[in-house]
Every structure is written in C-alpha cells, then in structure tokens.
A and B are shown apart, each in its own frame.
Chain A
Amino acid sequence: ETGVTQSPTHLIKTRGQQVTLRCSSQSGHNTVSWYQQALGQGPQFIFQYYREEENGRGNFPPRFSGLQFPNYSSELNVNALELDDSALYLCASSPDLSGDTQYFGPGTRLTVL
C-alpha cells in the first residue's frame, strides 16, 4: 500500500450542490496533486499544492478549489456541480516540489445527478 488515503469512497450529489473531497498524503510527502479521471480516460490535472500553497493549475474553472493543511492533508472543493463533474477524483502525493514519484490514493467516485 502507498499510504495515500481518500474519503469518501463514493458520493452522489445533485446538480448545483457543493462537494468536499479529502486526501491524506503518504507520510513524509509535502506535495499533493488532484486529478479528475472520467470513465475510459487518463487522469486530468486539476491543481497541485506544496506546503499549503497552490503550485500550478490545470484547465479547470474557479469553482474547483483546494486547500492543503499543515499536516499536508488536502481538500478538493467543487461548487455548483454539473453533470459533467461525474468522475473519479484522485489525489496523489509526492515527496517534494518536483512532483516526481506521485503515488495515488484510491479515489472518490463522484456521481452528479
């Protein structure tokens, strides 16, 4: 096991609602990246956090936001949910700012109805 954990495992929301997903990084890792993986596709980068600061963002709208805490755990918040937000949300932790050797958590399956 990689040590990266995520909660919840599954989540069902309706359009327009807000959701918070959580990630605990592997021990010793100070960098967390979040990805969205739609069915049958590769993970798409949302953003990365290093020592509580956002360090890069992909092509996602501002209603996708995040936080990283002093213990390096992290949250992904999505406001005004849309049907297309239905996907597997993965976080990955890595030991330094380079983002190399990223280890993924099991993911949160979000369904928006």
Chain B
Amino acid sequence: GENVEQHPSTLSVQEGDSAVIKCTYSDSASNYFPWYKQELGKRPQLIIDIRSNVGEKKDQRIAVTLNKTAKHFSLHITETQPEDSAVYFCAARMEYGNKLVFGAGTILRVKS
C-alpha cells in the first residue's frame, strides 16, 4: 500500500533547542522525499528534499536523513527559533503516477 506515517503529531521545544520529526514510508520504490512547512492560512513551502541516492542533506539549520533499508527519513532543525513554529509535512513520491503521498503533519511550537 501507499502510506507515509509521521511522528510526533505535536512537538514543543524551547527556543534554541533541536527538533526532530520522523517519517516512515511503505513503497520501497519511492526515491524522492520532500519536506514542507505550512504556516497557518498559507501554502505548503518546500524547505528541503532528498533523493534516495543520498543519505543526508543539510541546508543551514535544517537537515534531512534517509535510511532506505528501514524506509524512514527524518527532519532535523537545530537552534530553533519562534519563526520555525508551523506545521511540517513529510512526503514520499510513489512510483505510480509520480504522486506525492504526505504524512499527517507535525505541529511544531517553539517557545521563547
């Protein structure tokens, strides 16, 4: 089946701490994994993505790791700031139709 599970559903961290969000996927043929940030009332914004030929990718305070054997990938945000507060979605591209299947989302709250 086509499924992406995302945990936790909510995450509260203190400003300056790190935040980690984890996802698992079911389609072993998936080879592209983007992460989106969605602020209230706004569009999902692509913040980082990774392809299956890479194990880790970093962009400033954001990093994503991928374990293809275990079929899971994670988003790491370091030195969190209040403006990081949003809903974060992971997704995996399925082989059929190139469609993205999204996780249910994680509400991240960064307390100052």
Contacts and interface: CB of A to CB of B under 8 A. Distances in A.
Q: Pick from B32, B46, B97 the residue with the most CB of A within 10 Å.
A: B97
B101 interface: yes
Contacts of A2: 43, 45
Given A42-B103, A98-B32, A56 B97 contact: yes
Nearest to B107: A40
A11 to B, nearest CB: 16
Contacts of B102: 42-44
A8 interface: no
A66 interface: no
B13 to A, nearest CB: 21
Nearest to B98: A99
**For the side of the interface on B, what is the size category?**
20 to 34
Given A90-B44, A98-B32, A104-B43, A48 B97 contact: yes
Nearest to B99: A45
B73 interface: no
A33 B34 CA distance: 15
Interface of B: 6, 32, 34, 36, 42-46, 49, 51, 89, 91, 93, 96-105
Given A43-B44, A44-B102, 15 more contacts: A33-B100, A40-B105, A42-B6, A42-B102, A42-B103, A43-B102, A47-B97, A55-B98, A56-B96, A58-B97, A90-B43, A98-B93, A101-B46, A102-B100, A104-B36
Interface of A: 2, 33, 40-45, 47-48, 55-58, 90, 97-107
12 contacts: A42-B91, A42-B103, A42-B105, A43-B44, A43-B100, A56-B98, A99-B32, A99-B93, A99-B99, A100-B93, A101-B49, A102-B100
